[in-house]
């Protein structure tokens, strides 16, 4: 993180200085008191089962220079405390302020399935030309997005920020903080459908990422998705479509050649020509993720040979179709999270393997509400016919 002062924090949050000096320098922002150290600003978050305000003293004892509070709190000699209305919102306000000061071209990635893998691929592509910051793991909520933004350093020339949600309004809030120039929506599935009511609701929630878009912004979407294929003309921003099926897609694909656990090859068809692309992770669904990265690279003026190299050399976040060998047994580890679409994709990869015996160890798919029984039944039918 590049240095800020408490004066900056006051400007960003509209807070009140309870103690200390507004010229105090902040070298990092944390929400976990156990990570506290010299120069850090501790922001205590109130959760369902914890209250970070209980650890303000602990953060100061570990060297934190300042803390926020939304409650009455003890004042500590030589320490700076700023009072705000809501510490969680203040975290977002500070990240938004920081991003505006240290702005770089940014790509936001969201979608029901594949957003973390797509984020990794987009970041690898952009890294061929720009020093690129990306979201670590899948820290994509109202805590994780600010944490990513605070990692913007002087050397960064681009950023790829993953944005997740399970309720209406969350993507809009994250987009307000991150202000992406380009947004990618991978698909509209059934994840979190219990909270959003229907796939139409999920579509509306994902499209919140464009609420601040104008003529200079670009939305990149899966043109084979029945909802996303109808986004052109909704706003005054540019829309780019990719996919395998829709003939109106801007970036198309042909000659898909699976190579088992070693990955998959295909030919990407773009307006300027055709290019062979190799993805070193299995599954036809990763063709979609790679095509999204192709589109983002083209929008960021990266030559196609460099885009191809970035996709081939991508380092994926762990537990996304990791292939592991253990005493002659091949294990496909895709257990980070589960949705109907992600389980279907993983099972198809398993079925494509040339092996005498195949075992699928599956867990529950959560946050499905009234759709849970139907979703699990359909997965059972799929397993019967594969």
The pLDDT tens digits for 329-358 are 777 777 666 667 667 666 766 766 667 777
Tell me the per-residue pLDDT of 42-51, one tens digit each, with 9 for 90 and over. 999 999 889 9
Q: Three-state DSSP class for 240? A: strand
The yes-or-no verdict on residue 309 having pLDDT over 90 is yes
The pair phi, psi for residue 144, each rounded to 5°, is -70, -40
Report, as an integer, the average pLDDT of 164-186: 96
The yes-or-no verdict on residue 154 having pLDDT over 80 is yes
Confidence of residue 262 (pLDDT cuts 50, 70, 90): confident
Q: In the predicted model, what is the mean pLDDT of the chain?
A: 90
Report, as an integer, the average pLDDT of 353-382: 71
Report, as an integer, the average pLDDT of 283-302: 96
Could you give the residue ranges of the DSSP H alpha helices within 209-315? Answer: 285-299, 304-312
**Percent of all residues in the chain with a pLDDT value above 70, rounded to a whole number:** 89
pLDDT score for 314:
95
pLDDT score for 76:
87
Report, as an integer, the average pLDDT of 179-199: 89
Higher per-residue confidence, 269 vs 316 = 269
The yes-or-no verdict on residue 126 having pLDDT over 90 is yes
pLDDT score for 77:
84
Q: Which residues contact 350 (CB under 8 A, 6 or more apart)?
A: 332, 358, 360
Report, as an integer, the average pLDDT of 109-117: 93
pLDDT score for 129:
98
Asked if 234 and 207 touch (Cβ cutoff 8 Å), the reply is yes
- Cross-strand pairs, 4: 26
Report, as an integer, the average pLDDT of 174-196: 91
Confidence of residue 269 (pLDDT cuts 50, 70, 90): very high
Report, as an integer, the average pLDDT of 85-97: 98
Asked if 243 and 269 touch (Cβ cutoff 8 Å), the reply is no
**Percent of all residues in the chain with a pLDDT value above 90, rounded to a whole number:** 71
Beta-carbon count within 10 A of 28 CB: 19
Asked if 183 and 292 touch (Cβ cutoff 8 Å), the reply is no
The yes-or-no verdict on residue 304 having pLDDT over 80 is yes
The yes-or-no verdict on residue 323 having pLDDT over 90 is no
Report, as an integer, the average pLDDT of 147-176: 97
d(CA 206, CA 53): 33
Report, as an integer, the average pLDDT of 96-109: 97
Only one residue has tokens 């009234």, namely 370
Asked if 15 and 83 touch (Cβ cutoff 8 Å), the reply is yes
Report, as an integer, the average pLDDT of 307-330: 79
User: Among 89-103, 216-230, 246-260, 341-355, which is the least confidently predicted range?
Assistant: 341-355
The yes-or-no verdict on residue 153 having pLDDT over 90 is yes
d(CA 327, CA 24): 57
């Amino acid at each position: 993180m590049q240095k800020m002062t408490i004066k900056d924090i006051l400007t960003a949050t509209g807070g009140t200085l309870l103690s200390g000096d507004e010229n105090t320098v902040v070298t990092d922002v944390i929400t976990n008191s156990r990570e506290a150290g010299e120069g850090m600003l501790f922001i205590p978050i109130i959760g369902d089962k914890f209250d970070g305000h209980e650890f303000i003293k602990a953060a100061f004892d570990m060297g934190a220079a300042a803390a926020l509070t939304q409650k009455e709190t003890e004042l500590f000699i030589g320490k700076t405390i700023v009072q705000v209305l809501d510490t969680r919102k203040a975290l977002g306000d500070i990240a938004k302020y920081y991003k505006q000061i240290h702005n770089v071209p940014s790509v936001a990635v969201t979608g029901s399935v594949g957003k973390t893998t797509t984020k990794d691929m987009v970041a690898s592509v952009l890294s061929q030309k720009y020093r690129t910051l990306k979201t670590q793991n899948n820290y994509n909520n109202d805590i994780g997005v600010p944490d990513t933004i605070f990692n913007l350093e002087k050397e960064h020339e681009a950023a790829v920020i993953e944005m997740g949600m399970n309720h209406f309004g969350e993507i809009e809030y994250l987009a307000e903080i991150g202000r992406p120039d380009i947004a990618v929506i991978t698909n509209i599935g059934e994840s979190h459908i219990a909270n959003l009511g229907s796939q139409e609701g999920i579509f509306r929630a994902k499209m919140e990422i464009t609420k601040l878009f104008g003529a200079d912004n670009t939305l990149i979407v899966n043109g084979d998705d029945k909802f996303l294929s109808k986004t052109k003309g909704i706003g005054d921003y540019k829309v780019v479509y990719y996919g395998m099926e829709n003939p109106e897609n801007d970036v198309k694909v042909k000659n898909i050649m699976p190579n088992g656990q070693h990955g998959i090859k295909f030919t990407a068809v773009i307006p300027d020509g055709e290019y062979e692309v190799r993805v070193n992770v299995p599954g036809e669904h990763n063709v979609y993720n790679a095509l999204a990265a192709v589109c983002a690279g083209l929008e960021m003026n990266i030559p196609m040979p460099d885009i191809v190299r970035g996709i081939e050399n991508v380092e994926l976040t762990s537990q996304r179709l990791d292939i592991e060998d253990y005493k002659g047994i091949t294990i496909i580890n895709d257990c980070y999270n589960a949705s109907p679409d992600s389980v279907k994709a993983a099972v198809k990869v398993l079925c494509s393997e040339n092996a005498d015996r195949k075992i699928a160890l599956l867990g529950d798919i959560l946050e499905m509400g009234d759709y849970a029984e139907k979703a699990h039944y359909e997965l059972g039918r799929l397993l019967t016919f594969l």
